[in-house]
Amino acid sequence: MSQINNKPLLMASDKYVMLREKYDYNSPDCKLEIVKTGNIYNVGKFIGIFAREVPNGNPNGISIRRFESIVQEVFQDCYTAFISNNLTDNHIINLKQISSAIIYWKMTSQGGRAKLKVDNLLAKWNADTVNQLMNAYEKKDMSLFRIGGVRIPTATTFMRFLFPNDFGVMDSRVVGNYTQPNGITTLSLRKDGYINDTKQNIEKYTSEYIVFLRNEAKKLNDLCINFKDYDANGRLISAGFRACDIEMALFNSN
């Protein structure tokens, strides 16, 4: 294995690059519509979130990095209005849209469960939901993103899109195939590998899982290891590793 300061990477740097460049988790049916509020730039209807290039047949599709920018823009805009007591109906519309899209994206591989989870979120949405999301955003508190039936894996998806440099999705496949067998995490899991929604697992997301993702990204960046990706405008770029990119590479290797 490649090593930095006698601490080995989980896998060779060239394998990280290869796996991250192959990452192809797409959500072609994910829909969101953002209306104009404050200084929001990304306004309009978007259909389909794609890991790399947006297919020519999806004129309203967006890359995953553009989705990141939209998520961050909406939350920052809502938070600014929230703390100044100027939150409008349109702010809340955008917050519902972006939260639904995050959940749909995470659940898209599970077929009809994606829509069911979104419907459940919207059915349980109330004024307290807005307050909880704004507090979660302010405090970078993953546990507070557990809204409307959302559990740990999907709550970590909010963290991944809002703060991609420092956080990643805690997915059961990555945990089951890599972090648990290698002693990186000591999570409580069901027999089927599902991550139990417990206080201890919430704490270990930060104390174990995220520490690992950040350290792996730092090791690769210290070696000046880059990978090819597509930016928010669909342009091919050479990018350094973020915490979320480590998880994406490990997810893709399953």
Radius of gyration of the chain (CA): 18
DSSP 37-90: -TT----EEEEEEESSSPPTT-TT-EEHHHHHHHHHHHHHHHHHHHHTT---HH
Residue 159 pLDDT > 60:
yes
pLDDT tens sequence across 114-149: 999 999 999 999 989 999 999 999 999 999 999 998
Distance CA 179, CA 212 (A): 9
Q: What pTM did the predictor assign?
A: 0.95
CB 63 within 8 A of CB 234: yes
CA–CA distances in Å: residue 32 to residues 18, 102, 118, 125: 31, 10, 12, 17
Instruction: Tell the burial category of 126 from Cβ atoms under 10 Å away from its Cβ (0-12, 13-18, 19+).
Output: exposed
User: Looking at the chain, how many residues does it have?
Assistant: 254
Q: Extract the tokens encoding 62.
A: 């967006």
CB 77 within 8 A of CB 92: no
Residues above pLDDT 90, as percent of the chain: 90
pLDDT tens sequence across 208-245: 999 999 999 999 999 999 999 999 999 999 999 999 99
Q: Where are the domains of the chain?
A: 3-252
| Comparison of pLDDT for 38 and 178, the residue scoring more | 178
Q: Please give the backbone phi and psi of residue 218, each rounded to the nearest 5 degrees, phi first.
A: -65, -40
Per-residue confidence band for 1, with pLDDT thresholds at 50, 70 and 90: very low
Q: Mean pLDDT throughout 47-61?
A: 95
Distance CA 30, CA 201 (A): 29
Distance CA 27, CA 70 (A): 16
Q: Mean pLDDT throughout 146-158?
A: 95
